[in-house]
Amino acid sequence: MASINAIKVIKDKSEYDAAEAKYKSIIVAEKKLKIQWDEIETVIEYKRLFAQKQALEGDFGSAKKYIKSGPMKAYDDAQEAKDRAEEQRLAAILQAKADAETARQVAEQKRLFDIAEVARKAAEVIAKKAEAAAALAAKKGNEEAAAIARQKAEDARQAAKLEADRQAAARAEADAIRADAAAAPAPVVVVEKSHTGVTRRKVYRWRLTCKDGRKFTKAEMTTSTRLTIAELAGLPPHLYVLSPVLLNEFVDSQGEAAAIPGVLEVASSMV
Q: Tens digits of per-residue pLDDT, 9-41?
A: 778 888 888 888 888 888 888 888 877 777 777
Gap between the Cα atoms of 232 and 165, Å rounded: 58
Question: Could you tell me the maximum CA-CA distance found in the chain, to the nearest angstrom?
Answer: 157
Domains in the chain: boundaries: 95-183, 202-270
pLDDT digits (tens, 9 = 90+) for 79-101: 888 888 988 899 899 999 999 99
pLDDT digits (tens, 9 = 90+) for 193-210: 666 655 556 777 888 787
What DSSP letter does each residue of 91-110 carry, written as one string?
HHHHHHHHHHHHHHHHHHHH
Residue 82, number of CB atoms within 10 A of its CB: 13
Instruction: Supply the pLDDT for residue 3.
Output: 61
Give the model's confidence band at 124: pLDDT under 50 very low, under 70 low, under 90 confident, else very high: very high
Amino acid at the residue 152: K
**CA atoms within 13 A of residue 188's CA, in its CB half-sphere:** 3
Instruction: Supply the pLDDT for residue 197.
Output: 57
Amino acid at the residue 52: Q
| Cβ atoms 138, 101 nearer than 8 A | no
**CA atoms within 13 A of residue 246's CA, in its CB half-sphere:** 10
Nearest CA to 64 among 72, 55, 76?
A: 72
Gap between the Cα atoms of 23 and 84, Å rounded: 73
Gap between the Cα atoms of 23 and 95, Å rounded: 86
